[in-house]
Amino acid sequence: MDLCADQLLAHLPEAVAATDVAPPFRRAFGLLPFARRAGFNADRLLNRHLLLPRAVRRAARRADFVHVVDHSYAHLLHSAPQGRAGVYCHDLDAFRCLLEPAKEPRSRWFRWLARRALNGLKRAAVVFHSTAAVGERLRSLGLINPGRLVHAPYGVAPEFAPDGPDAELPLAPEPPYLLHVGSNIARKRLDVLLTVFAEYRRLGGHLRLVQVGGPWPPELAAHIARLGVAPLVTQVRDLTRSQLATLYRRAAAVLVTSEAEGFGLPVIEALACGTPVVASGLPTLREAGGGAAEYCPVGDVPAWLRGVRGALLDRDRGKRLAQAARFSWRAHARIIAEAYLGLPSGGRKPPVSRQ
């Protein structure tokens, strides 16, 4: 995650010097007009599995530690010195085809790449995790020695504040509205989001829905058409953090309908802006929202309607701001730096490798 890399670099203690290892993406095969999609995938493999490991090997010669900010790039640990490299594990999605193959069948080559990343994760001298639930999952599966696990929660970027300056927004409807922030991958359960919204409108609700992510895949576009809510749903993407913060502040409530999450960054970002949150009752989302959010069972539409109604009546902004204040990027960076400096080969210059 670029956000984690940016915030880590910005908040590392002054005693720690860091170099960002993120070479520009090189295009070769994707420039071929007759193989655009296949060419782009080939370029991803070239950059991720050949060029980026080379850059990490070169940087590691000059550094005390290597830190990989995203577990889906854990294969880079094969290019880093044993005992002097770590990785941040945001969730276990990248390894689901190996851990739960019946739920996520994948091709042989995809499983091979996932296995290489998982083996890299296992090589790490330290594995950071976003929530206690993710750490417990790593322990229970026997993937990582518990002594190498370090809990380093996310923080809240300064743009996400209740009274920040508003940024100009593209295509956003007049506030207030219901808001969802997240990609369109299956575990986000946008089908539930849209069904809940359609039922809310059918029962007399007047708010519109804004979704940050997308674009809509065909099955969700068809679902929107069946529900008859297309004119009431606005989708935006490619926002700056300031624009996203503006959307949060203007929203009547933020909905997080996921069936699986490693943390749930929109929960704390929305709370930091003072906005009510209704989220799935997952352990990870409960860690993020604490007692400041409403929780509903995944896919239980009547429960979600009750949750939305409760959130729209919630006037306790102080409770939401207090919960968000528990999360700090400065604390996140300090935890990571101290974990590396506490290794037997303790030094002063961990380079940071991002996606």
Question: Is residue 144 pLDDT above 60, yes or no?
Answer: yes
Query: Which of residues 37 and 169 earns the better pLDDT score?
Result: 169
Query: Which of residues 342 and 351 earns the better pLDDT score?
Result: 342
- Find, among 121, 150, 159, the residue nearest to 334 by Cα: 150
Q: Which long-range contacts (CB under 8 A, 24 or more apart) does 16-20 make?
A: 16/337, 16/341, 16/348, 16/349, 16/350, 17/348, 17/349, 18/349, 18/350, 18/351, 18/352, 19/59, 19/62, 19/63, 19/349, 19/351, 19/352, 20/351, 20/352, 20/354
Question: For the chain, give me the number of helices (H) and strands (E)?
Answer: 14, 12
Question: Is residue 135 pLDDT above 90, yes or no?
Answer: yes
Query: Which of residues 290 and 1 earns the better pLDDT score?
Result: 290
Span 156-174, pLDDT tens digits:
999 999 998 888 887 767 8
Task: Say which range, 14-28, 75-89, 106-120, 226-240, has the weakest mean pLDDT.
Answer: 14-28
Question: Is residue 19 pLDDT above 80, yes or no?
Answer: yes
Q: What is the pLDDT of residue 31?
A: 58
Q: Give the model's confidence band at 33: pLDDT under 50 very low, under 70 low, under 90 confident, else very high.
A: low
Q: Give the model's confidence band at 113: pLDDT under 50 very low, under 70 low, under 90 confident, else very high.
A: very high
Span 239-293, pLDDT tens digits:
999 999 999 999 999 999 999 999 999 999 999 999 999 999 999 999 999 999 9
Q: What is the pLDDT of residue 312?
A: 95
So what CATH class is 178-324?
alpha beta
Q: What is the pLDDT of residue 230?
A: 95
CB atoms under 10 Å from CB of 127, counted, come to 25
Helices of type H across the chain: 2-11, 36-46, 52-60, 96-99, 108-123, 132-140, 190-202, 218-227, 241-250, 265-272, 283-289, 301-313, 317-324, 329-341
Q: What is the pLDDT of residue 35?
A: 57
Domains of the chain by residue range: 2-19+63-155+328-349, 178-324
- Mean pLDDT across the chain: 91
Question: Is residue 138 pLDDT above 90, yes or no?
Answer: yes
Cβ-contact 151, 129 below 8 angstroms: yes
% of the chain with per-residue pLDDT over 70: 93
Question: Is residue 3 pLDDT above 90, yes or no?
Answer: no
Q: What is the mean predicted confidence (pLDDT) over 181-204?
A: 95
Question: Is residue 29 pLDDT above 90, yes or no?
Answer: no
Question: Is residue 304 pLDDT above 90, yes or no?
Answer: yes
Q: What is the rounded CA–CA span in Å between residue 17 and residue 252?
A: 42
Q: What is the mean predicted confidence (pLDDT) over 307-323?
A: 95
The string of DSSP codes covering 245-304 is HHHHHH-SEEEE--S--SS-HHHHHHHHTT--EEEE--HHHHHHHGGGSEEE-TT-HHHH
Q: What is the pLDDT of residue 344?
A: 81
Q: What is the pTM of this model?
A: 0.88
Q: Give the model's confidence band at 23: pLDDT under 50 very low, under 70 low, under 90 confident, else very high.
A: confident
Question: Is residue 43 pLDDT above 90, yes or no?
Answer: no
